[in-house]
Amino acid sequence: MNKTVEATTLDVQSYIDDQRFMPFQWLIVLLGFLIVAVDGFDTAAIGYIAPSLVQEWGVPKAMLGPVLSAALFGLAIGGLAGGPVADRLGRKLVLVVSVFFFGVWSLVSAYATSLESLTVFRFLTGLGLGAAMPNAVTLMAEFSPKRIRSVLVNTVFCGMPLGASAGGFLASWLIPAYGWRAVLIVGGLTPLVLSVILLVLLPESVRFLVARKQPAEKIRKILRRIFNVTFETVTTFTSSEPPHADAKSAVGVVLSKSYRLGSGMLWTAYFFGLLIIYLLINWMPLILKDAGFSVERAAFVSALFTLGGGIGALISGWMMGKFNSNKVVASAFVLSGVLIFVVGQSTGSAFWLGMLIFIMGIAMNGAQSSMPSLAAEFYPTHGRATGVAWMMGVGRLGGISGALIGAELMRRQLGFDQIFTLLAFPAFLAAGALMIKYLSIRFGTRTQVPALP
């Protein structure tokens, strides 16, 4: 027999914080993980098939810049648009539509016949990708108890590097056997199936429903589904939020006086982090191929970089629950910069190079994977999806820059050591931005009201 909550008013976040983590919440974690994983797979796929495009279509490597960055332009626009829409219409609707959308265009991309058409299709794929990931993170944050929120959000975001890594391992098998188009076909069919699963199983955020003053019955139904508890006596649901906001609109919250500096520093850190990651994801297979690796070995070693991200995200998430989140992520960026430099100076065997790249991936992807959790805890519910999505959308300009800078580095024929030495600097700049955000909160630039209690 179901238990009954004997109250007329219930704070949903306080209730979630006080309960043990239920099996249905683990299902939400799994669904969020899968969304981010297929996102990571589709985002990284173009980098793994790049050597095959050069070989099959006979195009110079430097001409791949537009097609490698097209999805990133779409990601930026999709993130900027998807966040405000989700704060207005709901996280679930945006998630289902965006996952379906990028699945369709990834599938269409497999049948491209020129760099121009592939560039257009990758841009459209990116629109869906950009809207999906930040809303998956936001939804997970709003269903998580405070004591384990950072770990859970980072667990969901582990899907990004692990999905990208799986793409590399799969590409190393699929491309020799079936050609590069098979990678995009798998990347299209998987999210199409997932969108149907999301439509059936994924609940809407109760914090969003409370913030939008939706009927109590909707909220009761979701909470009953999660906790197996009856809430029939509850007529009013609330959520612990700051009593007043600087602006009514979600965009206004993100750009308000209380959040403006912190938003700018989050965007800066995410920009430089993605510059590093997407340059390496998109160009490392070609960089390694030029260093004497086969196409298959280059894809395999490159995948080690993203594989380490899952470990790094879990370590970082655990530490964020124990120490100041800004300091933890800033320290991870500093460590990343040091390791990037060390990789560039390594002259050992392919085995040891692979190990160093794997360790570098733990630090770098761990830092970057923690950024959405950092943003989710910074903003209130009515601006959270926009805050997370805009950080990721503006930050995607860093990914675009990384793809284009990679093309320029290839054109200039810089050496392996020179490329990695240059890439160490953005990691230190990202760390500096997060420390500015931390100091601004500590010394009162932003009102110290916890946005996500």
The pLDDT value given to residue 450: 42
| Closest to 83 measured CA to CA, from 437, 399, 397, 394 | 394
- Rounded to the nearest integer, the mean pLDDT of the chain is 81
pLDDT at 243 over 50: no
Tell me the per-residue pLDDT of 103-118, one tens digit each, with 9 for 90 and over. 999 999 989 888 889 8
In the prediction, which pLDDT does 447 show? 43
Interval 218-224 mean pLDDT? 86
* Structural contact between residues 95 and 136, judged by C-beta atoms closer than 8 angstroms: yes
Q: Which pLDDT value is given to residue 98?
A: 92
pLDDT attached to residue 221: 87
What average pLDDT does this structure show over 229-255? Answer: 69
State the pairing for strand pair 3-4/229-230. Answer: parallel
Q: What mean pLDDT comes out for the span 392-416?
A: 77
The DSSP bridge partners found for residue 230 are 4
**pLDDT score for 104:** 94
Assigned architecture for domain 10-442: Up-down Bundle (1.20)
Task: Please state, in angstroms and rounded to a whole number, the distance separating the CA atoms of residues 427 and 144.
Answer: 29
Q: What is the model's pLDDT at position 369? A: 81
Supply φ then ψ for residue 413, to 5 degrees. 55, 45
Q: What pLDDT band is residue 192 in, cutting at 50, 70 and 90? A: very high
* Interatomic CA distance for residues 282 and 448, integer angstroms: 40
Averaged pLDDT for residues 74-95: 85
- Residue 322 to residue 22: CA distance in whole angstroms: 23
**Residue 347 — very low, low, confident or very high, per pLDDT cuts 50/70/90?**
low
Q: How many residues does the chain have?
A: 453
